[in-house]
Every structure is written in C-alpha cells, then in structure tokens.
Amino acid sequence: MKALNIISLGYRATLEEQDDTIVWLTHAMRGAGADIDILLRGSAVNYVVKGQAVSPLAIGGREQKHAPDVYGQIETLSEKGARIYVMANDLKQRGLKQTPRLDATHIVSDDDLPELFGGYDAVWHW
C-alpha cells in the first residue's frame, strides 16, 4: 500500500514535542516498512526553507537539549526515499517562490493533485 500524508499546519507544538509529530510519525511508519510520501501545504510549506533554526528552549531554567529541526526532519525523510511534495500556490502566497529551499522537493500545483492522489492507495490529511 502506498500512502500520502498531507501536512497543512506547520510548527504545531513542535517546541514541546521537539519534532513535527506528523513528520515524525511518517519516519516511524517508514521505519516499520510503510511506503509513505508527504505533501506539504499551508504553513507547513515553510518546513523546506533553508536556514531555519531554533535554539533549545529554556523555561524557568529548565533547558531543552534538542531543539526541533523540522527542515532536518524533512531532509532526512527525503534521504530515506520519501517523496516530498510542496504546494506551489502556498509557497507563492507566503513569498517563498525564490527563497532557497530543500533541493529534494517536488513542487506541485492544485491542478496536479487529482493525478497525484490517484497514484496512492490512501491519502491522509493530518
């Protein structure tokens, strides 16, 4: 079975979780043998922007050791063979058309979606 995970909401609880939890889930499922790719849309398209970084969060003196690295999570996923699709219109609306981003991304438009979806047994919108 081939599945496509659609991620629309970026940076949701990523500081607390130290990961994007759906990207993490995708990694874990691929590790268990799943054939899953991801489609980033909405604010999640920002995940492929190069140069983003966050320092470990310290609250009340309690410091985080591992700050989230959402770009790195996506990069590693692509290195493991997952296809990373990114919605063109969402990049454009957010002024990201010319912004340096992860090379291993496949930019798709709304017009591409019917065919893209058709190539998967399951399409899951998180």
Partner 1 sequence: MTTTLTFALMDAPFEASRTATVLRLIDDAIDKGCNINVFAYEGAVYLPFALQEPHANAVHGRDIDEEDHPLPREWIAALMEKAKRWDVAFDWVNCGLCVDERGASEAIEGVRRGSPADFWTMATSSENTLVVGTN
Partner 2 sequence: MKNYLIVETRDLLETRDTEWTGELTCKLARNKAEGTVFLTENGVLAARAAYDATMLRQCLKKGVRVFADSFALEERGIALCDLAKGVEVADIGLVTDRMIKGATVLWR
Binding stretches for partner 2 (CB under 8 A)? 6, 8, 41-42, 110-111, 113-115, 117-118, 122-125
Q: Which pair of structure tokens corresponds to residue 4?
A: 């496509």
Rounded to whole angstroms, the Cα distance separating 75 from 42 reads 19
Nearer to partner 1, 12 or 94 (CB): 12
| DSSP letter, residue 18 | S
Using rule CB under 8 A, residue 87 touches partner 1: no
| Shortest Å distance, C-beta 114 to partner 1 | 19
| Shortest Å distance, C-beta 78 to partner 1 | 19
Hey, which residues between 3 and 42 contact partner 1 (CB under 8 A)? Answer: 3, 8-9, 12-13, 17, 21-22, 25, 28-29, 31-34
Using rule CB under 8 A, residue 58 touches partner 1: no
- Strand runs labelled E in the chain: 2-7, 35-40, 58-59, 62-63, 84-87, 105-108, 122-125
What lies within 8 Å, CB to CB, of 92 at 6+ separation is none
